[in-house]
């Protein structure tokens, strides 16, 4: 199996050590080990001296995990998504259910943050920000 080197798209590597796998996937070596420990990656091959060796499939999975994290999926959701991705008998409805649930959570967090922003903007506007000790921001926080 070969892994494309990010700096040279035509160059392929048989198996990549953890540092190279991290570089190719955009995930830190520490997180690669963490994902492996969580079972998101199958047990990776090791050299005779015990160094991890990552295949092209392992690096592809790491990229999948990274993209999932970039979209804000939880580790539990990512574990489900990786399982579905590896299951050719999956239904797209199962994947959509996870994504829809996550989308709803994101929309709620955005609404909550917009409300916080609006409240804080109002408080900042009401505060004179001068030498006087009275401050509507502190008054509101003390409620």
| Model confidence pLDDT, tens digit, residues 11-33 | 455 689 999 999 999 999 999 99
pLDDT category, 6, cuts 50, 70, 90? very low
Q: Measure the CA–CA gap between 54 and 15, rounded to whole angstroms.
A: 5
Q: Is the residue at 87 inside a domain? A: no
By CB atoms closer than 10 A (0-12, 13-18, 19+), residue 63 is middle
Residue 9 phi, psi (nearest 5): -55, -25
Q: Number of folded domains in the chain?
A: 2
Domain that holds residue 10: 3-72
What is the domain-level CATH number for residue 15? Answer: 1.10.1660.10
The pTM assigned to this predicted structure is 0.79
- Who wins on pLDDT, 33 or 6? 33
């Amino acid at each position: 199996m070969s892994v494309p080197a990010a700096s040279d798209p035509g160059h392929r590597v048989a198996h990549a050590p953890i540092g190279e796998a991290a570089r190719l996937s955009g995930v830190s070596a520490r997180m690669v080990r963490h994902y492996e420990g969580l079972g998101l990656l199958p047990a990776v091959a090791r050299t005779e001296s015990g160094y991890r060796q990552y295949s092209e499939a392992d690096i592809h999975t790491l990229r999948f995990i990274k993209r999932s994290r970039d979209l804000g999926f939880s580790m539990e959701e990512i574990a489900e998504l990786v399982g579905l991705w590896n299951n050719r008998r999956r239904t797209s409805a199962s994947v959509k259910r996870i994504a829809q649930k996550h989308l709803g959570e994101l929309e709620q967090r955005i609404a909550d943050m917009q409300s916080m922003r609006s409240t804080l903007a109002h408080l900042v506007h009401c505060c004179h920000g001068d030498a006087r000790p009275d401050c509507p921001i502190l008054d509101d926080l003390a409620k």
